[in-house]
Amino acid sequence: QAASEPAAAPAPVQTASAPAAASGASTTVTAAQPPKNPVRLHFGQLVLQNGRVNYTDNFIKPNYTADLVQIQGTVGAFGTESTTPAPVDVSAKLAANGPITIKGTVNPLIAKPSLDLTASAHDIELTNLTPYSAKYAGYPITKGKLNVDLHYQLADDQLTANNHIFIDQLTFGDHVDNDTATKLPVRLAISLLKNRRGEIDVNIPVSGSLSNPEFSIGGLIWKAVLNLIAKAVTAPFSLLANAFGGSGEELGYVEFAPGTATLTDADTKKLDTIAKALDDKPSIKIDLIGRVDPAVDTPALREKYVDRLVRQQKVKDTVGNGESVDTSEVKVDPKEYDKYLEKAYKSGDFKKPRNMIGLTKTLPDDDMKQALAEHAPVDDATLRDLAQQRAQAVQQYFEGKVDPSRVFVVAPKLDAKGIDDKGATTRVDFGLK
């Protein structure tokens, strides 16, 4: 039904006088005014039977077009003065694809249209979306199916939506050069998002304003997909942590105590999570980059050198000739530490201060430890070896958990440059490819 307000009373006219002509006549100009009240519209319940809609997105080039067919359902009454939204219950089919359902409420004719709709569409052939993928991702789609479950809300010209997207066997064709495509490594990101069955299962929120002249729902969704791709590439371990760790912990590195290459329990927990993630993503390979921080590792290595000398002195006192002992397993009681420290100091092959009769002076413990530490054989090669040992410790832990052909120990880094997180600088960093 459509109705209009009764015609308003004629508006007062505006008059203006012009200079009189030679005859002395005058001229009056009348300006018409628009009616005070707009047209009122009201529609009763709409019943849809075997309908069809053609949708074209003219913003994308080439245009994306979709045909909705077999439209069935109802849309409740609505109008320009509706105070309650109209219920919606509609089903349809995307031509040559699977079923679509739309349920919720709409209020389309009020000054600020609104809606709150949930929708689902299954078995959508992704090759039809190539105009979007070529424009924003730089690749045409050659294979794949899409299932989506959506929740869209519109209020005050602002659209907010959540898109649960399930993609099966997404496959790209050759790269397409254009100015709008992302420069990110899209293929790597897709490999990170896929599980071992070739499936991608994500939730993607989007938002936008209808007042934007370039508003495009399809464009919004693809931009959100590209944001997800960017996250997969720039913060892949955060993505893995959310999917497999459950706590959002940083999986991009494991930490070591200064001067050591021994994995901690916290390290092995991270490595187990990474191994699980790699098992789910068989096309991904991992790089292991051993690192040292000279400012932290050098003094720690010198201290460990002194402790090793002290343990060796105890071995000489307590173990018989010919016996083999792992020095690292020897424990030195605090009560006997001074004695073995002094023996280690006096055995050191470096110049020491002597007393008046030429014997080596006995110094305070801290001075003897400092003298031994200063003569520890710690140099760049020692630091490089430590960095490599750390990477190899991780590599050995992955044995039996990750295919060795997917694990690479790459050149170590011998400083703390480029570390901008809060983790320790004595570590192994990971890279995915």
Structural domain boundaries enclosing 142: 45-234
pLDDT digits (tens, 9 = 90+) for 168-201: 999 999 998 888 887 888 888 888 888 888 888 8
SS3 of 45, please? coil
The residues that bridge with 79 in the sheet, in sequence order, are 42
Same domain, 192 and 271: no
Over range 206-228, report the average pLDDT: 66
Same domain, 207 and 258: no
Q: Is the dihedral of CA 286, 290, 296, 302 positive or negative?
A: positive
Same domain, 74 and 178: yes
Does the pLDDT value for residue 376 go beyond 50? yes
pLDDT digits (tens, 9 = 90+) for 232-278: 777 787 777 766 754 555 788 999 999 999 999 989 999 998 998 88
> What DSSP assignment string belongs to 106-143?
EE-SSSS-EEEEEEEEEEEEGGGGHHHIIIIIS--EEE
Same domain, 303 and 424: yes
For residue 273, what is the domain's CATH number?
3.30.1330.60
Same domain, 216 and 312: no
Say how many domains are in the chain.
Answer: 2
Exposure class string for 204-213: b at 16+ Cβ within 10 A, else e: bebebeeeee
Same domain, 395 and 330: yes
SS3 of 303, please? helix
Percent of the residues in the chain that have a pLDDT greater than 90, as a whole number: 30
Residue 177 lies in a domain: yes
Does the pLDDT value for residue 294 go beyond 60? yes
What is this structure's pTM? 0.65
Residue 243 lies in a domain: no
Residue 38 lies in a domain: no
SS3 of 258, please? coil
Residue 348 lies in a domain: yes
Instruction: Report the amino acid identity of residue 57.
Output: D
Comparing C-alpha atoms, which of 117, 51, 120 is closest to residue 86?
117
Rounded to whole angstroms, how far apart are CA atoms 369 and 342? 9
Same domain, 226 and 363: no
Does the pLDDT value for residue 329 go beyond 90? no
Rounded to whole angstroms, how far apart are CA atoms 172 and 175? 8
Predicted confidence at residue 29, as pLDDT, reads 47
Rounded to whole angstroms, how far apart are CA atoms 369 and 341? 8
Last residue of one domain, picked from the residues 234, 257, 290: 234
